[in-house]
Structure 1
């Protein structure tokens, strides 16, 4: 049962994403029908730099709903079940996750937290427990199969699997959902594993669609102050209460 490393891969995004965003934003402020300008956008009659500048400028006003027309899909592996439970709490998204019911976990990979990895005695105890879990899982499957319950073997033996068990998942989110995801999960207060994953996703999004995601990331980076209370602030930015108190 080896330790698994995190991996985030870009699979797909909405075709002609910048052109679609430009057309969507323009329709909000344009008296005509954007379908009539669509061929011009596709054949380059409207420069992409002009489109990107227009989209970025409107975003600065706080008008974000049109970016829902574009979505990204990622394949992710090397994350724990603890991490995936956090991801799927983001509602406006689609998920396809590896099933412990149909995939046998006899050779379960797992995620080793860095805080445990750097302390020898903690790592030793953690890895010993992972081995114990693995053996227990195998024993339970064999017992169930021997008792004529082969169809139940995986789905019932999996009850002993830990949150550290590695999982794989395909995630699709539209740009507005991604921006919200990055606001929360790129924050230093986010759990280390989901933050690492979010940082990798954001890097890809910035490369693919900079007009939207160059301003993506933790909320404090956009606001210029920490929206958390002083109790939870990490210190990278002043809190809103600190700013207002100075202005009095």
Structure 2
């Protein structure tokens, strides 16, 4: 299943909201007048000033909500490590997966034998899951539980046989500052391929909404030295060229 990312909602006029917060910090303006004279030019000026000062707290006043599907449990295990965010993920405890979807890594797809072994493993997981659900469900029914509750209880334990490749769906909400941190780590060439693909798609979508705010977002090397030290990918010029081109 292919990756799908949809920006469901975001704070209206996000750049203007951040600019108003910056205006409050650096002027004597009152709350009644905070949005006055915030032209496109002034808004961009306030945003650039914030970035140059490293004053990022006003950026937290805006948030973005994404619907994501076609990703693996392996990816979401990484995603939820970004703790300043809200997550709602499809539950394997309450949703019976009669035929689970799965993500095949590109390097496995390239090799026919590797792909064959991988798919066989996925099919075996589904077979084991179905068998476990039926065994446990029958037992619970025999113990006096009704069929609906018996199935719900059965899939709680049967789901343990599912692999990291199992496809899942998740809703994610992050404020802009957390998003920038997410992009800094996950757009990096050293990030795992799947979450890097997700991060790049999310960045592309938020740039359409707030181009000035996310103008310099991307991996850490875009605006400074590579933060990976000896673990660097060694392609800093190539990475910078890519993101600078996208910003034009």
Runs of 4+ in 1 over 6 A off after TM superposition: none
Q: Report how far residue 147 of structure 1 moved.
A: 1.2
1:179/1:216 contact within 8 Å kept:
yes
Question: In 2, Cα distance between the equivalents of 1:115 and 1:34?
Answer: 55
1:74 maps onto 2:71 in alignment: no
1:164 maps onto 2:165 in alignment: yes
The runs of 5 or more residues in structure 2 that have no matched partner are 141-149, 238-248
Q: Report how far residue 150 of structure 1 moved.
A: 2.5
Question: In 2, Cα distance between the equivalents of 1:165 and 1:181?
Answer: 23
- Map 1:218-237 → 2, pairs under 5 A: 218-223=219-224, 225-230=225-230, 232-237=231-236
Question: In 2, Cα distance between the equivalents of 1:229 and 1:55?
Answer: 30
Q: Which residue does 1:10 correspond to in 2?
A: 7
> Aligned to 2:27, which of 26, 30, 51?
30
- Map 1:3-152 → 2, pairs under 5 A: 4-38=1-35, 40=36, 45-148=37-140, 149-152=150-153
Question: In 2, Cα distance between the equivalents of 1:144 and 1:124?
Answer: 30
Number of residues of Structure 1 aligned to a counterpart in Structure 2: 228
1:26/1:34 contact within 8 Å kept:
no
Q: What SS is found at the alignment partner of 1:102?
A: coil
1:192 maps onto 2:193 in alignment: yes
Cα deviation 1:95-123 (Å, max 9, x = unaligned): 00000001111110000000101011000
Q: What SS is found at the alignment partner of 2:65?
A: strand
Question: In 2, Cα distance between the equivalents of 1:147 and 1:88?
Answer: 35
The runs of 5 or more residues in structure 1 that have no matched partner are 239-248
Q: Which residue does 2:246 correspond to in 1?
A: none
Q: Report how far residue 229 of structure 1 moved.
A: 1.6
Question: In 1, Cα distance between the equivalents of 2:23 and 2:78?
Answer: 35
Cα deviation 1:117-153 (Å, max 9, x = unaligned): 1011000000001001011101111111111243311
Question: In 2, Cα distance between the equivalents of 1:46 and 1:15?
Answer: 15
TM-score (norm 1): 0.89
Q: Report how far residue 47 of structure 1 moved.
A: 1.6
Query: C-alpha root-mean-square deviation of aligned residues, in Å?
Result: 1.2
Question: In 2, Cα distance between the equivalents of 1:64 and 1:127?
Answer: 46
Q: Report how far residue 56 of structure 1 moved.
A: 2.0
Question: In 2, Cα distance between the equivalents of 1:215 and 1:34?
Answer: 30
